[in-house]
């Protein structure tokens, strides 16, 4: 099954990993992946590290956030799943002019100072503030680690 040509933006502090390549792209027939991270795009070691992630029918590109914001201003040629690390990166994309309508929150894991929202979503006060800013600016935030998972409204979850 091939997904329609559109951008899907996922927030996940593991970035590209099995759940992304196998759980999303393979299941939904998404051929293009973008790992958007300003540190990783500049690291040959990290680009090589993530190059082993995509399956045979998938292509992975590396971009900085500025490049992704620009790319998202036009529809992709094929369905493309872009992955960013967290809420501050999403806010940065918005500031750079990316037309963010919906962001899938796929995984923000536990860390010092974070509170648990769901089993795959833990937020620090700073992350929560960024998520609230995104929602206040009209971005629809949906908690959904996998295609078959229930779509949870972060607006409701965060209270």
Partner 1 sequence: MSAPLHLLLITHGRLGEELLATATLILGPRDHTDALSNDGLSREGLVEAVLGRLEALPEDASLLLLVDAPGASPHLACRLALARQPLERRERQHGPITGVNLPLLLTALNRRETTPVDELLPLLLDRGRAGILMAD
Single out the residue of 96, 69, 77, 59 nearest to residue 9, CA to CA: 69
Q: Is residue 39 at the binding interface for partner 1, with CB under 8 A as the rule?
A: no
6 touches partner 1 (CB under 8 A): no
Residue 74's φ and ψ, nearest 5 degrees, are -130, 150
Asked if residue 69 binds partner 1 (CB under 8 A), the reply is no
Is residue 153 a contact point for partner 1 (CB under 8 A)? no
Please name the residue ranges forming H helices in 7-86. Answer: 18, 27-28, 44-50, 65-71
Q: Does 18 bind partner 1 (CB under 8 A)?
A: yes
Q: Per CB under 8 A, does 137 bind partner 1? A: no
Q: 36-63 as b/e, with b when 16 or more CB fall inside 10 Å?
A: bbeebbeeeebeeebeebbeeebebbbb
Residue 154 lies near partner 1 (rule: CB under 8 A): no
Q: What is the DSSP letter of 34?
A: E
**For partner 1, which residue of 5, 73, 97, 111 counts as binding (CB under 8 A)?**
111
- Decide: is 24 part of the binding site for partner 1 (CB under 8 A): no
Q: How many degrees, rounded to 5, is the angle at CA 20 between CA 96 and CA 36?
A: 25
User: Least Å distance between CB 110 and partner 1?
Assistant: 6
Out of 73, 109, 147, 153, point to the residue binding partner 1 (CB under 8 A).
109
Which residues are at the interface with partner 1 (CB under 8 A)? 13-15, 17-18, 21-22, 45, 49-50, 52-54, 107-111, 119
């Amino acid at each position: 099954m091939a997904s329609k040509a559109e951008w899907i933006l996922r927030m996940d502090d593991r970035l590209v990993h099995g759940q992304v390549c196998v759980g999303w792209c393979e299941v939904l027939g998404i051929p293009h992946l973008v790992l958007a991270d300003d540190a990783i795009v500049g690291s040959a070691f990290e680009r090589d590290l993530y190059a082993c992630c995509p399956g045979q029918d998938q292509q992975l590109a590396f971009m900085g956030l500025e490049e992704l914001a620009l790319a998202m201003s036009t529809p992709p040629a094929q369905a493309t799943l872009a992955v960013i690390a967290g809420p501050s990166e999403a806010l940065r994309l918005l500031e750079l002019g990316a037309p963010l309508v919906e962001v899938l929150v796929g995984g923000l894991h536990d860390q010092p100072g974070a509170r648990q929202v769901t089993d795959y979503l833990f937020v620090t006060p700073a992350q929560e503030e960024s998520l609230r800013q995104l929602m206040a600016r009209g971005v629809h935030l949906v908690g959904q680690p996998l295609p078959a998972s229930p779509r949870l409204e972060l607006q409701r979850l965060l209270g």
